A and B are shown apart, each in its own frame.
Chain A
Amino acid sequence: DTAVSQTPKYLVTQMGNDKSIKCEQNLGHDTMYWYKQDSKKFLKIMFSYNNKELIINETVPNRFSPKSPDKAHLNLHINSLELGDSAVYFCASSQDFRDSSAGELFFGEGSRLTVL
């Protein structure tokens, strides 16, 4: 059973298009995230949601819009794609950080976005 699953795993598209990446977790976690990994492998948080509420928005262009219909899902929609958006996007989840056993992130397999 996949704990954090994201689709699609690969996405190739033209500049200017709009695309979405979906993420689902079956771990019962309260918090979900989107991280971006650039070509140099640097991982940087984009957004986090706790129980469907936006908690973190790390100065991401407003072309990126996350949506959390329920606490098990966090989707990422990107408008007007640019070349610099090419990266691997990771979805992750965790228990509430205030829980003493929390802190660990469970990652999806990543979605490689290539903008041509």
Chain B
Amino acid sequence: AQTVTQSQPEMSVQEAETVTLSCTYDTSESNYYLFWYKQPPSRQMILVIRQEAYKQQNATENRFSVNFQKAAKSFSLKISDSQLGDTAMYFCAFGDFGNEKLTFGTGTRLTIIP
């Protein structure tokens, strides 16, 4: 069974700074997806970024980028120029082909300080 570990339960950073959230996972699959989801206080789960394991290039979405290290099974999220609206729980998630579900980590609560 796949497991996803987020070792930072809480983090805080000043507005406009850069922050990196860590995620590691365990799987025997070679082809899979990785995701970062954001859950603000409104409770809605929002996709931040996704990475296909077969792609070597790290995914980027505006201020959000990932550092995907397949051999190390590591998938960290970097948020640049952090904004107050980035305050949320962030969940790392793993999904593999043929197993129609995502496995989520325990989340990191990120607070952006004005």
A interface residues with partner B (beta carbon < 8 Å): 31, 33, 40-45, 48, 50, 55-56, 88, 90, 92, 94, 96-98, 103-107, 109-110, 112
Contacts and interface: CB of A to CB of B under 8 A. Distances in A.
A88 B43 CA distance: 9
Interface in B17-57: 33, 35, 37, 39, 42-47, 50, 52
A56 B101 CA distance: 8
A105 B106 contact: no
Contact of B44 (A31, A40, A48, A107): A107
A43 B91 contact: yes
Contacts, number: 64
Interface string B50-66: 10100000000000000
B108 to A, nearest CB: 10
19 contacts: A40-B106, A41-B39, A41-B89, A41-B106, A41-B107, A42-B107, A44-B104, A45-B102, A48-B101, A56-B101, A94-B100, A97-B95, A97-B97, A98-B97, A104-B47, A105-B45, A107-B45, A110-B43, A110-B45
A106 B103 CA distance: 15
A55 B91 contact: no
Contacts of B85: none
Contacts of B104: 42-44
Interface residues of B, number: 28
A48 B95 CA distance: 14
Nearest to B39: A41
Interface string B71-114: 00000000000000000010101011111111110110100000
Contacts of B99: 97
Contact of A103 (B37, B46, B95, B106): B95
Contact of B43 (A40, A97, A106, A109): A109
A26 B97 CA distance: 24
